[in-house]
Amino acid sequence: MPINLLHPSLEEEKKKHKKKRLVQSPNSYFMDVKCPGCYKITTVFSHAQTVVLCVGCSTVLCQPTGGKARLTEGIHLGYNFSTSSPTLVFDRSHLSMCEELSRFAFP
């Protein structure tokens, strides 16, 4: 079965290591997390290795799991592609869609 090396499918690209993809892209990203209590926005790394607390009310925003950090239920997030772009706010239910968008973000 012939394989198209110039246009691999998204499923094939997801399975590959981050440096062996057709276009190298990291698995990690920064998120703008909005606290449900005080509505302050905090920037959190997707693979945070420590517990991240809200600056305003000390609510736990995410906890480390050994890989990606797990967001606390009820937390709203948006992806921070660059410092000049606006913050997009999504529900946790749209997390898989946001992960897809972050993989193909432009520099």
Q: What is the 3-state secondary structure of 30-51? A: EEEEECCCCCCEEEEECCCCCC
pLDDT of residue 53: 93
Q: How far apart are CA 56 and CA 98, in angstroms?
A: 26
Is CATH 2.20.25.100 the classification given to domain 27-94?
yes
Whether the Cβ atoms of residue 89 and residue 77 lie closer than 8 Å to each other: yes
pLDDT of residue 97: 46
pLDDT of residue 11: 86
Q: How far apart are CA 101 and CA 106, in angstroms?
A: 10
Q: How far apart are CA 96 and CA 60, in angstroms?
A: 22
Q: How far apart are CA 68 and CA 87, in angstroms?
A: 21
Whether the Cβ atoms of residue 40 and residue 87 lie closer than 8 Å to each other: no
Q: What is the mean pLDDT of each run of 10 residues along the chain (107 residues)?
A: 83 88 87 87 92 92 92 75 46 47 49
